[in-house]
Amino acid sequence: MTTFAEAFARQAASDLEAFEYLSRSNLPACHRLHYLQMWLEKLCKAYIWLTDDMEDLRWTHNVVAKVLPLMIREHWRRIGFSQPPNLSEIREICREIDLLHPQVDDGGRRPDNVEYPWKDGRGNVFFPAAPPRPFSVLQRLEKSPTGRKLRKAAIVLTRERPIHVKGLH
Amino acid sequence: MLTHSKAVHMPNKEDVAKVLANAHRVTDPEITRIVRLVGENEQDPNEPIKLLEVNAATPPSGVVPIAFAPDPPDIPYPSIVIEVTPDEYAQIVDGKLMLPKGWTIEEVLYSSE
């Protein structure tokens, strides 16, 4: 019987495929970032140890900054990464990934997201396919050394070397 | 039948918990405290080693246990890490923020103070 942990891991792998497919397209960046956020959120949920009193964690959206840095740290420990990783920057990028979801907005300070239109403090309305400025997390993931390491580690954890407890919940 | 010389040496959970805690402390300088948690089935080898880590850099989003499969030979047990802020840790100690049912603080493995 498939457990929730396995189901989240397998759906994360499918979301990763969608992310890569969209990355090769000319569609606006919001679409691939939407799948990036969904991929990493589900990957994180495959690792959360849920007890009966913690079921809500399965459906919350604000988990990437809390969970993914520790997954990457453990992955790097296991492969014997020679250089200490910059976990502070990893955490910053992960927070930006959480903020891509419309329900995560830092108390209204970050209404920009990759799914729904939003209004800024001056009343101007924007939508994800044509944001007022490019989503900065994309630049960090593709151009910064730490961002590239994060993406590589997340791909390995999704496809090649999962380290979650398979029988988990 | 295994002879004594061929028996597989399984390090105990206490020692493995210290190895893991040390690796985390070295990798992440923001950690200020690591404590070992224990549950009701701690003698069961399938029961994970549980570390509660205090880190001001983590988001204040409560108790989120993250589980990892064993990594033999060094880490032959599954493990769980819970990372909380210093304020959340104080709430746990005061009983205002709850750990998963049956889990209690056992010993401090690292403290920067």
B113: pLDDT confidence band, cut at 50, 70 and 90? confident
For residue A37, CA distances in Å to A12, A31, A94, A109 come to 10, 10, 10, 19
Task: Out of B23, B61, B101, name the one closest to residue A51 (CB).
Answer: B101
Give Cβ neighbours of residue B87 (< 8 Å, ≥ 6 apart). B60
Cβ contact (<8 Å) for B65 and A48? yes
Contacts of A83 in chain B (CB under 8 A): none
Q: What pLDDT does A165 receive?
A: 76
Q: Is the dihedral of CA B32, B84, B87, A111 positive or negative?
A: positive
Instruction: Name which of A169, A7, A153, A73 is nearest B51 in CA terms.
Output: A73
* Residues of B contacting chain A (CB within 8 angstroms): 23-24, 26-28, 30, 48, 57-59, 61, 63-69, 71, 78, 80-81, 83, 98, 100-101
Q: How confident is the model at residue B6 (pLDDT cuts 50, 70, 90)?
A: very low
Mean pLDDT for B16-29 is: 94
What ipTM was assigned to the predicted interfaces of this complex? 0.90
Integer Cα distance of B8 and A83 in angstroms: 32
Q: CA torsion, points A115, A117, A118, A123, in degrees to nearest 10?
A: 170
In the prediction, which pLDDT does B2 show? 46
Instruction: Return mean pLDDT, chain B.
Output: 91
Q: Choosing among B64, B77, B82, B85, which should be mutated to test the A contact, i.e. which has the most A CBs within 10 A?
A: B64
Residue to mutate among A8, A45, A47, A96, with most B CBs inside 10 A, is A47
A107 touches chain B (CB under 8 A): no
Closest-CA residue of A relative to B74 is: A78
How many angstroms away from the CA of A88 is the closest CA of chain B? Answer: 8
- CB contact at 8 A, B110 and B33: yes
- Spans of chain A below 70 pLDDT: 52-54, 84, 166-169
> For a pLDDT cut of 70, what percent of chain B falls above it?
93
**Given this model, what pLDDT does residue A163 score?**
82
What pLDDT, in 10s, does the model give residues B45-95?
889 999 999 999 999 999 999 999 999 999 999 999 999 999 999 999 999
Nearest CB among B61, B68, B81 relative to A163 is that of B68
Neighbouring CB atoms inside 10 A of B1's CB total 3
Query: In the prediction, which pLDDT does B1 show?
Result: 45
Model-level pTM greater than 0.90?
yes
